[in-house]
Amino acid sequence: MYLVASIASQGMFVVGVLMLIFLLLRRSKRYLKRAEKQPTRARQKVAEARKTAPLLDAPPEILRWQVEMHETARELKAELDSKMSALQATTRIASEASSRLEAAIARAEELGISRCADTLAAIENLNGSEASVDAALAEMSLRRSEEILAYREAIYHLADQGLAASAIARSVGAPLGDVELLISLRSDPASQ
């Protein structure tokens, strides 16, 4: 009898352990289903982090490559910005120079100075022979040097009359710096 009682008690113990295991498995299964339906706060944070940084769980080599690409893009953008600002400044300077040139042409027309179209026509009419090109260039150089001498003489003449450099520049139609340079390079007005 003792043997039957001991087997019965062991059987009851095994049945109790099996029931406990069954209940625990059933309860954990419900918990897992509920956890899958409602993401926890930690899962939500991980999901948000993956949205903002898609390569969060990528290998380190890929992360380094991504960082290098971002740095390269930043450097290229900075270079492009500096090139664009330099281009804008150059465009502005060219526009100012163009307007000054147009004003100088208008001033020359008012004073009756020719546009030297005949020298351009002479160059265009050349047949390409080196002798004729050299002759045309020599002629243009001679005309230009005569114009420069006349220009200097006019400035020196007005300086001898006692006019200031700014007044000379206005009357001749030359930049003030050019007039001041020519006057300062002139050593003795009586020797000229």
DSSP 173: T
Residue 143: per-residue pLDDT: 76
Dist CA 104 CA 85 (whole Å): 28
| Per-residue pLDDT tens listing for the chain (192 residues) | 777 778 888 888 999 999 999 999 999 888 888 777 766 677 677 677 667 766 667 788 888 888 899 999 999 999 898 889 888 988 999 888 888 888 877 777 777 666 555 555 555 554 455 556 566 667 777 777 788 788 888 889 999 998 898 999 888 888 888 888 888 887 655 544
Give CA torsion, residues 56, 62, 64, 69, to 10 deg.
-100
**DSSP letters for 19-83:** HHHHHHHHHHHHHHHHHHHS--HHHHHHHHHHHH-TTTTS-HHHHHHHHHHHHHHHHHHHHHHHH
Give CA torsion, residues 99, 155, 158, 110, to 10 deg.
-40
Q: Any residues with CB less than 8 A from the CB of 158 and at least 6 apart, and which? A: 167, 168, 171, 172
Residue 72: per-residue pLDDT: 93
